Amino acid sequence: MTISPDDLGDPIQNKEEKVFTLSDLYESDKSGTNIEIGYEYDFGDDWHHSVTLLGRADSNLRRVLQIPDKFEAFCMAGEGHHCAEDCGGSSGWEGLKNVFKKGRKDPEGLRSWYKNECINGDKEGLDPYKWDMLEVNDGLLALAKGEL
């Protein structure tokens, strides 16, 4: 099931992101499960994301997994390093990851750019497989507290 902006009354693309939340869509009277929404981030690089609500968690899940009540949202799985800001979209991201592979040449100086200039670059280098669930959940908690 795909919900269009018309299904929710006011067009969602006209709402500010600080006012509109995913729960506005997922908790709507018209929602159920298998709801897919599209999201475009960084209109210059055109990152397109798809977010699908597959269903709702069992009400006992928080207790079984011992998820503290302080977490409004909790990430249980994921993969891959977060993408670099302003790297040129998905093709630029793939190119950046390629220069970090062992033995690859870097005629454009992407390694140095990523380590020293990229907003969310990493001084240690790029590991496309790096992903830390605890780090993600710390970020979600900070976001919920208004610290980010």
One domain for residues 90 and 51 = no
Is 75 within the bounds of a domain? Answer: no
One domain for residues 145 and 88 = yes
The fraction of the chain above a pLDDT of 70, given in percent, is: 81
Q: Of the ranges 34-43, 69-78, 100-109, which one carries the lowest mean pLDDT score?
A: 34-43
Tally of domains in the chain: 2
Residue 144 has pLDDT above 90, yes or no: no
Q: Scanning the structure block, which residue is given the tokens 């100086």?
A: 109
CA distance 12 to 30: 14
Domain that holds residue 17: 1-55
Considering only residues 21 and 131, tell me which one the structure prediction assigns the higher pLDDT.
Answer: 131
CA distance 100 to 130: 13
Does this model's pTM top 0.75? My answer is: no
Expressed in angstroms, the distance from the first to the final Cα of the chain is 33
DSSP string, 45-111: T-EEEEEEE-----TTHHHHTT--TT-SS------SPPPPTTS-HHHHHHHHHHHTSTT---TT-HH
Is 105 within the bounds of a domain? Answer: yes
One domain for residues 87 and 48 = no
One domain for residues 146 and 84 = yes
Considering only residues 96 and 35, tell me which one the structure prediction assigns the higher pLDDT.
Answer: 96
Considering only residues 83 and 51, tell me which one the structure prediction assigns the higher pLDDT.
Answer: 83
Is 66 within the bounds of a domain? Answer: no
Is 13 within the bounds of a domain? Answer: yes
